[in-house]
Amino acid sequence: MRITGRILRPSNLVERRLLMSLGVDYIRVSRAFNPYAVARLVKRITAGSTDIQKLKVICSKKPGPGFGPISPPPPPPQLPDSTSEPREGERAA
């Protein structure tokens, strides 16, 4: 695995096939996990281990705070009607 910050990219065909079987091209490791530990996990899986469920949990995309349904924009504020005549009870300038 090639590690660039928190992104892990495959460096050989076996790793690429493993990630493609999970439906991803690369792994973005969240801050809850160590990227080097995840890279070692991928290496163990490609060597024949059966810990693929752990990798599926790490690769599952959890929606963040910005990924909710889009709400419609708020209505524009109601501004007072601008007229050249003063309101009742006010004097003209």
* Residue 48 belongs to some domain of the structure: yes
Tell me the mean pLDDT in the region 81-91.
66
pLDDT at 73: 79
Query: What would the two tokens of residue 29 be?
Result: 């490791």
Q: 68 or 7: whose pLDDT is higher?
A: 7
pLDDT in tens, 45-71: 999 888 888 888 888 766 555 556 667
Give all strands of the β-sheet with 7-9 in edge-to-edge order.
2-4, 7-9, 27-28
Structural domains of the chain, count: 1
In angstroms, the CA 42 to CA 16 distance is 10
pLDDT in tens, 8-39: 999 999 999 999 998 889 999 888 889 999 99
* Residue 43 belongs to some domain of the structure: yes
* Residue 25 belongs to some domain of the structure: yes
List the domain range (segments joined by +) for residue 27: 2-59
* Residue 90 belongs to some domain of the structure: no
Say if residues 11 and 27 touch (Cβ distance below 8 Å): no
pLDDT at 84: 61
* Residue 67 belongs to some domain of the structure: no
